[in-house]
Structure 1
Amino acid sequence: MQNSAECNHRQLSSVPVDLPRTIEELQLNYNHITTLTDDSLIAYPSLKTLSVACNDLEKIEPTAFQQSHLLASLNLANNNLHVGYQESSTALKTLQSLKALDLSENKLDEEMAAILLQNLTSVEYLNLSGNLMQRLDDNILSHLYQLKELDLQRNVLFEIDNAFHSNPKLQRLNLAFNYLPCLTDFHMTQLVVLNASYNFIDWFISRQDVNETFQLETLDLSHNNMLFFPFLPSRSHLQNLYLSYNRLSFYEHLADSAMSTNVSTTVEFYNLRNHTANVSAQLWVEDLHGDLSSLRILDLRANRVSYLPQGFIQKMPLLSRLKMCINCLEILNFTSERFSESLYELDVSKNRLTQVEADEDSLIALSNLTYFNLSQNHLKMLPARLFVSLSSLTSVDLSFNSIDVCLSEPADHFSHCVVWKDVLSLKKLFLKGCNIKIVPNSAFSGMTLTHLELSSNPGINTQNSIQMLRRTLQHLGLGNTQIQNVDFSQFKMLKFLNISNNSLSRIPRSLSQISLKSLDMRDNQISTIPSDQADALATSLNTVYLTGNPFNCCQTEWFRTFEMQKTMYIVEKSDIECVDLFHRKHIVESLDPLFCFVERESIFWYILLFVPICVSLLGISIIVLLTLKPKLLEKSIKKKCLKSTSY
């Protein structure tokens, strides 16, 4: 910007006075300014944006902004305004055009904040994050009638008492990283985004008697202590609901056992403000979910969900992304759930799935599903036509399930294996750790896979089957498969290759003929890399993994070649080790280039010193022996040389 002055990191203790009078933006961040005096800004009447963040600012004198009638944005973050907050408050009141104010990280408590914010009726954006506020009441923000966005994250808030009653235009509210125990009587119908993640919330309850439609589109309650699905507004525009990392579950299946043991089946909520009736809810009557008709993203990761209530998914006709990894699901039933046609991402990895049920109609309805993650479950059988029927499927992850690759078309509805060659839309296939031994030669015929992960299938035979993908494959994982000799020369599109943990004694020569970008060859038995191969790899590789190999300390020229290539990143370079002639380990990076010469020279001198000593000791031993026992030689000679005669 032509009318901008950037004076950051200048060791300034005051506002410069020699800048052009016409500047509209002034940056004074990372200096040592402690006070904005009454005449600090008088020379810059056109100022619209001022940033004094990350200084030692303790106070603003009362008339510091007397000529700053146009100032609309003021950044005072990361200072010490808690020291002179009363004087600073007087100065802030004079800013009639102020729209954005940043008071974050100033060690302010709620009383200080209330004084600083008095009569700031024009402010639309306010940042109070990183302060020391514990409780919000209706006085602190009472004059901020135009407030649209408020950031209160990273305080120590544990109570909010009708704090936003005077902010009818507030649309975005950030309460993350505080100590709130619950959010009840939620009735902010104008709010569009609410972030209450990283608190200690165990209940979220919307007021059920509000006739007006809530404008809420995004609600983030992740990383809390919620046991129950939130009581959402009965009418809303909610599109994104984030509930990950709670303790949430559904309890309909407990109804029968509760009734037989006289356990209460209801929970009652009291003290929900004077104008709200008490709520009594049946915990397993799943009709308190609220309006989910506009929901597009539902994030339930890392909870305790063991099943989905009947009709729950059908309430979300626009659902496009369902994330349910790290839960307790045992059955995934497409037939009964009737997922939306809008669904394109489904992640049910890291559950306890033993069964997937689906009929033809339910699978046809999922014509837009592109990403399907079933990894790390307990699956041993799947519907035979499960993946073939998903016409838009581009990515499947079945890793760490006991599902094989079929040798022929399965005859039964459920099968222990999958036929992949008919899933023509598939681009990414992950079959890591599936105990696969044989992949038929025609397993991937007709496919255009770009990613194939077969690692952690020890003894798998893939040589002929993966050749079918030589024209399209870009990522290939063959780590821990006991491969010995694979020809990669035809894989011209291959960019990422994992051959780690395979006991390889050398890198396949064919890798020099393709333009790899990333190569993982950790935990093998490689002692060196020939210079011509190192030169070829260095020109193409961007990332290489080498740790866990017994490299020869006297054959590390390849390391210097890689190190000199500035475009190559050697992962964990300082952990790459080599072994010397005495089987001692050294760090290759810190190895002296003359190390091997010194080693050989030292060995030569050891030998040179050792031989004379041995000869000397032998001679001394013979002399001593003959001296002490002179007759021994005579007897020895007679025994070996004298022979008896016949006369």
Structure 2
Amino acid sequence: MTGSCCCMASEKKTSCKVQHGKADCSHLSLKEIPPDLPRNITSLDLSHNRLTQLPPDAFIPYPGLLHLSVTHNSITKIDEGLCKTLVLLRTLNVEHNEVHLLHEKDLSHCTNLTWLNMAFNRLKLKGEPFSALESLTFLDVSKNNLMSARLGSQPQLPNIVTITFSSNTISALKKDDFFFLSHSSFLQVLNLSSLPLKTFEPGCFKPITNIKTVIMDGSNMGTDAISKLCSELSGTAINVLSLQKVNLVTLTNTTFRGLQKSNLTFLDLSGNGMGKIEEGSFQWLPRLENLFLTDNKIKHLTKGTFHGLKNLKKLNLRKSLVNIDDFSFQSLIALETLILVHTTIREITQHTFAGLTSLRDLEMGWCTCASLRNINSTTFVSLAASPLRKLNLTATAISQIGPGSFSILGNLTSLFMDLNFIKQTLTGQEFEGLGQIQEINLSNNRQTVKLSNASFIHMPNLKVLILRRSLVGTLNLNPSPFKPLSNLTILDLSNNNIADIRKDMLEGLVNLKVLKLQHNNLARLWKSAISGGPVLFLGGLQSLSTLVMDYNGLDEIPLKALRGLTKLQELSFNGNLLDNIKDTVFDDLHSLRALHLQKNLITAVRPEVFKSAMTNLSLLVMNKNPFDCTCESILWFVTWLNTTNASVPYLSDQYVCNTPLAYFNHAVMHFDTLSCKDMTPFQTLYILSSTAVITLMVTALLVRFHGWRIQFYWNIMINRTLGFSDARVEEGREFEYDAYVIHAEEDIKWVERRLLPLEDENYTFCLEDRDSVPGMSRLESIVDNMRRSRKILFVVTESLLKDQWCRRFKAHHALHQVIEASRDSVVLVFLQDMHDYKLSHSLFLRRGMLRPRCILHWPVHKERVPAFHQKLCIALGMTNQLQQ
């Protein structure tokens, strides 16, 4: 395992993944803590394994651990030494285990712990197990079959912020249950969801009066129990109360009486199947700002339903409403967002939304209302006093929009009418009065909307226009319906089967950034063969950054079709019939970052066409084309793919050669680029250079490891022919000995074993001890014997250099004789490696004074001894006359 990379094998995880100080060892069926992770990890995930315990010693290698997760194991206890070993531990997740008895000592050393999740165990508390957790801010003991919310008998958890008791068997909240939190001044969230609560003893919330959020979702309490809950919460600082799915079928005018003095600002009553809300039910909540009543069965809203909610800003009635009386929202003077999605309203009258003087967002998508089928100038008259900015009428079965239908909504900036059945020609009167509108969505109207020259004449500030799958007829209009929209930035005309447009259709849209024209029939417009030439309708769109032309049947792109689009960043021509794209078509696209050309008939990717477009590309999608894998068509592309940093999805399996037959159905990346070069001169040069390099390498290796053998056999061949000696016969007759041997006393054994056996081969050596002249002094005998020897042979060792007799007399006299007689008669045999400086200092000789054949080294390897003898014979047979 390493600390900087992921240790994975194929798709199945087989080892820990370590990255950025975090070790993920989940889903590995581990039975013990991995001992070989990097020491510097700060987070360790051991979830979904087979651990049964957390031995402290196993965590000794990871002293810097801050976060530990062991969820979904079979751990039965938390060892008291765990936090003693992991002194820096901040978060501990033991969710979904088998922890049963939790003693006070188990967490006594976890003083730095800030987050603890013990949910889905079977806890039984012994003593005060949480008393030492002074830094804890989050505690979850959900799903533990706890029968009481009392987790201690004395004040503790001073810094707790969120505590969760969900899905236990707590049926009653007693007076002292939360006493252990009486000193928890930071407590904000109390989660009591999915509990069978029926009883709330008086004063049960008194120890935690600073609580701000209480979640009771799924508790199935009923109306009476909720009334008691609200009474007990009256003395707290609560501002958020969630009562989803608590079986609150009927809301009475006394249910929330206990919260009259509270600061409640958020109330969620979703999913209760609520059928009736009595008038005045919310009168006790004057500070409420958000009310959620989604997924209920409210049959009727009346004038008094929301009485008292003068500060309400958001009301969500999604899937809840059946009928609305006039003036039902009159008291909601601060309401800014009203959500009526998926509701059923019988009729929208002139007073339905009366009183909503602050409304900015009205969501009526998927609403069933007969009044919306044919919108006219009176439909939204009840919103005349509302500063409405957004109106969502998606999928409300609109079929007709009358003149001036939205004229009353002069502040409207966003209008959504997609997924309807509008069937009419837009003359412009429908949008009269929408001078501030910035976004209109008319998409998916089953291609029944027809545009005219004046369709958008009253919307000069429009920025986003979505007409996807809505239009019928032609856009070959003069002037263009889009001409008044000089501020337009996004135009979607996709899926409209558009076949005929004018060159100036988009003229004047200088701010247009996104143009979507996919799934139309524009092929004929860009054909060079049509009368008057191709229709270049993209001219003048200098701000365009995204152009989508997918599935238009295009088989060519005019040479000047994309000229001037210097800011274009994304271009898409998916699913067309493009093949031979002309050179320089993409030359102006220097800013292009994404190019989509998949599912075309492109065979060649040549630099003349694509080089400019691909210079700064970060995404290329060109899969599923029938590439021609020849040098002319694909060489540049393959080279680009091998060097680019751009993302190319599906490169390995969907970029496939179609021709020639040799590459059919092979990946483009398998194309051999070397086959595209003229190899005649290069091949000759390659052969010559390769031969030279190989020859040099082989020669060097032979010389290095077998040079002595070559020399040995060469000498044998030469010397058998010419003899071992180059001296004249007369020169040999002048001497009695072949060589006078100078050696140290310590080397006498080597001389006797290695030199004297050569006397059996007609060589004679003069040794001082053996061949001294009787009756002569030692000095005279040495001088006389040297004169009678043709060669003077030095056996060079450290001992020789230290021998004073050899250094002062023998070497000196030998050198004198060589100089005096002008003879090349010295042979050096090195038994040890010797520096030339020592040789000169002791014997007054240097290697450079002698011929190379007169310098020999005793070999280390026994197999080279015959070669040494051969070299010695050659040296002894050489002439003493200096070579001129």
The residue identity in structure 1 corresponding to 2:280 is Q
The residue identity in structure 2 corresponding to 1:428 is I
Aligned length: 542
Partner of 2:867: none
Deviation, structure 1 residue 546: 4.0
Larger-gyration structure (1/2): 2
Partner of 2:542: 471
Partner of 1:74: 138
Alpha-carbon distance change, 546 to 72 in structure 1, aligned in 2, over 3 angstroms:
same
Q: Secondary structure at the match of 2:388?
A: coil
- Which of these residues, 487, 501, 511, is aligned with residue 586 of structure 2? 511
Deviation, structure 1 residue 339: 4.5
Deviation, structure 1 residue 383: 7.4
- Which of these residues, 84, 95, 100, is aligned with residue 156 of structure 2? 95
Query: What is the rounded CA distance, in whole Å, between the counterparts of 1:491 and 1:205 in structure 2?
Result: 60
Q: Which has the higher contact order (CA 8 A, sep 6+)?
A: 1
Partner of 1:440: 502
Deviation, structure 1 residue 392: 2.2
Deviations along 1:561-614, whole A, 9 cap, x unmatched? 5587555262x667736466799999977x9948999xxxxxxxxxxxxxxxxx
CA contact (8 A) 1:249 1:305 kept: no
Query: What is the rounded CA distance, in whole Å, between the counterparts of 2:66 and 2:127 in structure 1?
Result: 24
- Which of these residues, 298, 305, 329, is aligned with residue 398 of structure 2? 329
Query: What is the rounded CA distance, in whole Å, between the counterparts of 1:181 and 1:391 in structure 2?
Result: 50
Q: Which sections of structure 1, spanning at least 5 residues, go unmatched?
A: 253-281, 410-417, 598-647
CA contact (8 A) 1:371 1:396 kept: yes
Partner of 1:297: 361
Partner of 2:736: none
Query: What is the rounded CA distance, in whole Å, between the counterparts of 2:200 and 2:385 in structure 1?
Result: 36
Question: Is 2:552 aligned against 1:481?
Answer: yes
Alpha-carbon distance change, 237 to 488 in structure 1, aligned in 2, over 3 angstroms:
same
Partner of 1:494: 568
Q: Secondary structure at the match of 1:396?
A: strand
Partner of 2:211: 147
Deviation, structure 1 residue 456: 1.8
Partner of 1:64: 129
Alpha-carbon distance change, 400 to 71 in structure 1, aligned in 2, over 3 angstroms:
same
Alpha-carbon distance change, 55 to 406 in structure 1, aligned in 2, over 3 angstroms:
same
The residue identity in structure 2 corresponding to 1:28 is L
Partner of 2:435: 367
The residue identity in structure 1 corresponding to 2:438 is T
Query: What is the rounded CA distance, in whole Å, between the counterparts of 2:364 and 2:174 in structure 1?
Result: 37
Alignment of 1:162-201 (within 5 A): 162=226, 163-168=229-234, 169-174=237-242, 184-185=251-252, 187=256, 190-195=263-268, 199=271, 201=273
Question: Is 2:514 aligned against 1:451?
Answer: yes
Alpha-carbon distance change, 297 to 184 in structure 1, aligned in 2, over 3 angstroms:
farther
Query: What is the rounded CA distance, in whole Å, between the counterparts of 1:179 and 1:424 in structure 2?
Result: 54
* CA root-mean-square deviation: 5.0
Deviation, structure 1 residue 497: 1.9
Deviation, structure 1 residue 395: 0.6
The residue identity in structure 1 corresponding to 2:435 is S
- Which of these residues, 393, 396, 399, is aligned with residue 462 of structure 2? 393
- Which of these residues, 630, 633, 647, is aligned with residue 568 of structure 1? 647
Alpha-carbon distance change, 552 to 310 in structure 1, aligned in 2, over 3 angstroms:
same
Tell me which moved more, 513-522 or 390-399: 513-522
Alignment of 1:340-359 (within 5 A): 340-355=409-424
Deviation, structure 1 residue 60: 4.8
Deviations along 1:250-309, whole A, 9 cap, x unmatched? 699xxxxxxxxxxxxxxxxxxxxxxxxxxxxx9658667686333332323333344358
- Which of these residues, 252, 270, 280, is aligned with residue 208 of structure 1? 280
CA contact (8 A) 2:590 2:612 kept: no
Q: Secondary structure at the match of 2:500?
A: coil
Which has more helix, going by share of residues?
2
- Which of these residues, 476, 479, 491, is aligned with residue 429 of structure 1? 491
CA contact (8 A) 1:443 1:465 kept: no
Deviations along 1:36-67, whole A, 9 cap, x unmatched? 5313554566x694434679683554323435
CA contact (8 A) 1:37 1:64 kept: yes
Percentage of pairs with the same residue: 15
Partner of 1:639: none
The residue identity in structure 1 corresponding to 2:586 is L
Query: What is the rounded CA distance, in whole Å, between the counterparts of 1:150 and 1:173 in structure 2?
Result: 5
Query: What is the rounded CA distance, in whole Å, between the counterparts of 1:223 and 1:563 in structure 2?
Result: 56
The residue identity in structure 1 corresponding to 2:616 is S
Deviations along 1:334-385, whole A, 9 cap, x unmatched? 7355544442221111112235889879733x33321111111254346764
Deviations along 1:90-142, whole A, 9 cap, x unmatched? 328633745522427x643553888996445667533638x644677756995
The residue identity in structure 2 corresponding to 1:391 is P
Query: What is the rounded CA distance, in whole Å, between the counterparts of 1:398 and 1:228 in structure 2?
Result: 37
TM-score under structure 1 length normalisation: 0.67
Tell me which moved more, 320-329 or 523-532: 523-532
Deviation, structure 1 residue 423: 1.4
Deviation, structure 1 residue 496: 1.7
Query: What is the rounded CA distance, in whole Å, between the counterparts of 1:482 and 1:48 in structure 2?
Result: 64
Query: What is the rounded CA distance, in whole Å, between the counterparts of 1:427 and 1:243 in structure 2?
Result: 34
The residue identity in structure 2 corresponding to 1:166 is E
Partner of 1:314: 383
CA contact (8 A) 1:576 1:587 kept: no
Deviation, structure 1 residue 475: 1.2
Query: What is the rounded CA distance, in whole Å, between the counterparts of 1:552 and 1:224 in structure 2?
Result: 63
Deviation, structure 1 residue 314: 0.8
Alpha-carbon distance change, 140 to 566 in structure 1, aligned in 2, over 3 angstroms:
farther
Question: Is 2:191 aligned against 1:128?
Answer: yes
Alpha-carbon distance change, 362 to 488 in structure 1, aligned in 2, over 3 angstroms:
closer
Q: Secondary structure at the match of 2:449?
A: coil
CA contact (8 A) 1:331 1:356 kept: no
Alpha-carbon distance change, 519 to 336 in structure 1, aligned in 2, over 3 angstroms:
same
Q: Secondary structure at the match of 2:104?
A: coil
Partner of 2:91: 27
Q: Secondary structure at the match of 1:167?
A: helix
Q: Secondary structure at the match of 2:506?
A: coil
